[in-house]
Structures are given as C-alpha cells and as structure tokens.
Amino acid sequence: MSNFANRWERKETPGISSRVKESVRPPGPLKPRLEAAVRSIQLQMQKLDIANQRFQERDRIMFSKVVDAYSKHDLDHAKIYANELAEIRKMSKMLMQARMALEQIVMRLSTVTELGDIVVTLAPAMGVIKNVRAGISTLLPEAERELGDISTLLSGILVDAGQSSGLSLNFESANEDAQKILGEAAAVAEQRVKEKFPDLPAGIATGEKAGF
C-alpha cells in the first residue's frame, strides 16, 4: 500500500495532451492522471451542452415551421418540416445520451480511492467512451478525437493499475456494466427530450428513433 500511496499522491505531471502524445502508458502517479482525465471528460460534457443548445434552437425554428404549415393546411410541407425536425431531435437525443453517459463516468472516477477500484471502474468507463465516440463521430469530429485521447490516457492508467495491483480484468462484467450505464443514459435522454421538446400536431408522424 505504501507503494500505491506514492504512485497515487505524487506531484501532478504535465497536462493531458502532452502525456497522451508520449505513449499509451504515460509516466507519472495515478491520481493526477486520473484527475486530469476527469477534467478532460468534464470539458467534453460542456462541449456537448453547447452543441445541444444549438440543436434546441434549430428545433424551435423548425417546430415553428411545422406548426405554421399545419395551420395553413399545407400538410405536404408540414410533413417535410416534421421529418427534418425528427432528425434534429434524433441528434439532440444522441448528444443528451452521450452527456449523461459521460456524467456517470465522471461520478465513478471521482469516487475512486483504492487501486482495485481503478481496475474495476476504468474498464467499463472505457467501453462507455468508445460507444460515445462512435455516436458523436459525425456530429462532433473534434470531440470524437479528444475522447480518443482521453481513452488512451485511461488505458495507460488501467494498465499501470492492473500491474501494480495484480488484479485481472473481467471483460464480460466490464462490458455488462458499460451497457448498463449506456442504457440508463438512454432512458434519461429519452425523458429529457419529452420534457424539452413540444409534441407535433396530431396526425404528423415522423418515426423518430434514436440511440447508440
């Protein structure tokens, strides 16, 4: 435990970008590296919030077009706008789900205090980040790349923690945990979409469906 304490508490090393570029296993104690990863994930959450605000504004404009066309009995244009609106809401829901999933990861990483906790926590966290990256790759290419850097940093921490603790990784359990996190995030995102966005006029179906 004294060895772990030294690796855990030692003085913080340089920023995330320089460490990630060094190697898959950046040098340095575990705690500062983990804290750097948490801060970077929180930054991505902020970017997702900003992007989603733009989608919500686009939703407001497109919804007005749907209502206007519908009130003029122009169902053809109303349906066209409704389909565009469905795509906007699909993207917004995807961003919300990504944000909720990352929030769960931050909460878990922020409570890690033991070496064994790192191994148990990081494995599903990396699975979640992988899915989030895939989900937002076309929407936010820059965020997708930055999440890749974070994943690399977490991978290095996981390798070091595993070697230091001698604990083996249960991949099946980690994958199940990751899917559980994503499922919970999807459920919350679905509810928030219902709360934030008004329903379309009756009779205009869009077949909206979204998720990772």
Confidence band for 161, pLDDT divided at 50, 70 and 90: confident
Give the CA distances from residue 115 to residues 23, 48, 196, in Å, rounded to whole numbers and listed in that order: 22, 31, 41
Tell me the pTM.
0.74
Q: What integer pLDDT is reported at residue 207 of this predicted model?
A: 44
Supply angle C-alpha 124, 194, 73, rounded to 5: 140
Cβ-count burial 73-99 (b if 16+ within 10 Å, e if not) = eeeeebbebbbbbbebbbbbbbbbbbb
E strand intervals along 35-179: none
User: pLDDT of 109-145, one tens digit each?
Assistant: 888 776 667 778 888 898 999 999 998 888 888 888 9
Report which DSSP code applies to 72.
T
